[in-house]
Structure 1
Amino acid sequence: MNRLTFIYLLLLGLLSCTSKNEDFSSESDNNKVIVRGYTTDADSVYFNLHEDEINNFIDISETNFFIDPYSFNIGNWKNMLKRKREITINSVHVIGNFNNFQLTDLLTKKGKIWQLSLSKADVKGKSGQFGYIVNGKYFITPFIKLIKNYKIQVIEKFSFHFINLVWLTYLFYENEQLGYTIDNDSIYFVFDPKDYVSTTDEVEGFEKIIDPSKIDQVEVTGSFSNWKKRLVLTKINDIYITTLALDSTFKNWGEFKYIINKRKWVTPPFVVTNKIGKVKNDNNFNYTFRTKNKENIRGYYLKGDSVIFEWQLEKLQLLNFYHETVVDSHKVKNLYLHGVFNTEDKENKRLMQQIGDKRFRIAYPVSSFEKGRDYTFIFYMNGALELIPPHDASNVKHSDAFAPFQTMRFNMKL
């Protein structure tokens, strides 16, 4: 076994092993996949770490983690991985987007639970990622088996092998969206610096702090201009804004992104719901907007007593697996339909029938579906490449806010 494979397997083992003691903070939640690590009420957020939810640790003491938490140097990898039994927990801090990745005040301990209460007004942004630091230098790896709100972050890539951190995510408000509003026949792109933490500089890479005093210009670009044109926003007080008419250049949905000072691409907060990922297990997101300019149901239709799912693959249609690609970059072998209504398969997939050149179809009885219920469905090319709905589709829906991979999917409602 070579060195790189060993690193990968060792870390995979640390992330995936199961706990012998699953006595979590609530007995009734022992076997539930739920949001863990924090709770909220009207005014406060409570960061909670239960010692039984800790899997293992990664020693970050000899890295530049606190400067660049998403792509820090791994240092001497042999000394980084620490088993839970090796570490006595003397202190706990929490770190994340909400405080620019700096250590908070110490959490207080009660039994096996460490907790810190913060006012929501003191937490930067309404959503983001966080993690717990033990003894000032050990980043915890939680058991992900029963956690809904986790994000595996690639730190180092060696060919097909990865070194990862496991972050938790927080979201204060459901259906939260940022970056734009729509009013009558116009779309307003709105950039408020206080809502953001990080950017990706075209030259220098990741930067974790946005300093509003150093912003000279804010631009926006997106699918509405085929990513070829940047629009300069006007500063009004502390907010930047520009307005465009909702004409034919805007489809039913699309993507956009902000740029600071011509080269710093703004990273949307992780669990803002209106975003789409470009690379799996990476923080490369674009914002999405919804206009609903014209109803255009794609992917299925009704015929008699049947629901017909049908799709024609085109050369430049977007696909996503571990990175965004297009149909024309691959040999088309088959097309699968994924949906919870495919109960006969454990992965909820069914192979579609090919009825023409890159055209596929599958039919179901109408009686298979509940009237008025929303059904999300996905087309997978070659069993793994997820088709991203075209921007002219009106029947689209974002993946769950806490899903490990953020994307847009088709929706059906009879």
Structure 2
Amino acid sequence: MEEAQVADINLETNTNHLDQDQVVRPPRPQRERRVPQRLDDYVCTMPQSVMPMQALSQSTNSSDPYALSNCVSYNFFSSTHLNYLAAISSIDEPKSFSQAIKNENWREAMRQEIAALEKNGTWTIETLPPDKRAMDSKRVYKIKFKPDGTVERYKARLVAKGFTQIEGLDFHETFAPVAKMVIVRTSLALASIKHWELHQLDVNNAFLQGDLHEEVYMKIPQGFTCNQSNKVCRLRKSLYGLRQASKNWFEKFTTSLEAVGFKQSKADYSLFTLAITDSFVAILVYVDDIVITSNDARTTEGIVLSQRKYALDILTESGMLGAKPSSFPMEQHHRPGLASSSPIPDPSQYRRLVGRLLYLIITRPDICYSIEILAQFMEEPKQEHFDAAMKVLRYVKNSPGQGILLSSSSHRHLVAYCDAD
């Protein structure tokens, strides 16, 4: 026991001797972090409720050092909105008929869809003529939620495989009413400044309302049988997936609005306006979704345009949910070239990613420049371009809920910018 005590004393003595000889370095000075001057060129207003540094919880325990919870904030959402976000983020939708048939909710949704189509007179069961061919169909499964996050209904939409249609035989013209984003933002900004009412409408089975003029046949939908095997569905009305379905629906919608006094804009055919004495109504059409604004009184601090769910879907599809976030979308002096690196094995993956990011810049002007640069290499993308796209995704992960605030206190004056040439 005494030898052990002596050894401990000697060890402590030696340790103290080493501490006296050790050089103590002064603490590293902290540099002041300044916002880059290039960010002063942005003229959009960012809402604080979706800023990236508002962490979900400072005490969140996660084995992932770059967990998504460190980049997504829920602190400013109401309980109703939180329930809605939790529902759309956690509930999965089936991707195929074999997955959906296992759930009674989806089976009932498919039965209701077929019953609604037959009641609408969408088709008649006939024998396929010898000189005609019948296209296949598929189902698209979607869950529609209420504002509080509860399920409103299960949608099992029957979609024709219109990509097999032959132009000049099965269809002649195609058109989809897509409102210009500048018109959408201008309308929303005007509604925010003038405190107008703002409503969004989703037309039930919109494409089924259009009349079909061509002779088109479709096979019996999967999961349903007919007594005679050689029978097919002859379509009498438009169906989702047909090349001409959107055009037929929009023609009928336009005729109906003009019948009650609306005027179609010449600058954007998706915009309809109605002015009667002191009342004003504007309708914007985006395929089968409708936004209505009018000059009824409304009190709010503004409107936030955000694509949080869409941004998270892109991160999920690309496998970047656990990636390390980046504080900027692209290196300042990075100039991707055509022959800088080897081509990627699957160029379609790059095209799809850049295409989805192009839609995201509608509410994310901070990635506009980076995506426009990457979009120049869609034909033969290289590994350098793909890595740069991944860099943008890491930046998006840093603030997936970021959007644009259309403040109600803004001035109602248009400001335009242009290049020297």
TM-score by length of 2: 0.24
Q: Considering fraction of residues, name the structure with more helix.
A: 2
Q: Considering fraction of residues, name the structure with more strand.
A: 1
- Structure label with greater radius of gyration: 2
Higher RCO by CA contacts (8 Å cutoff, separation 6 or greater) = 2
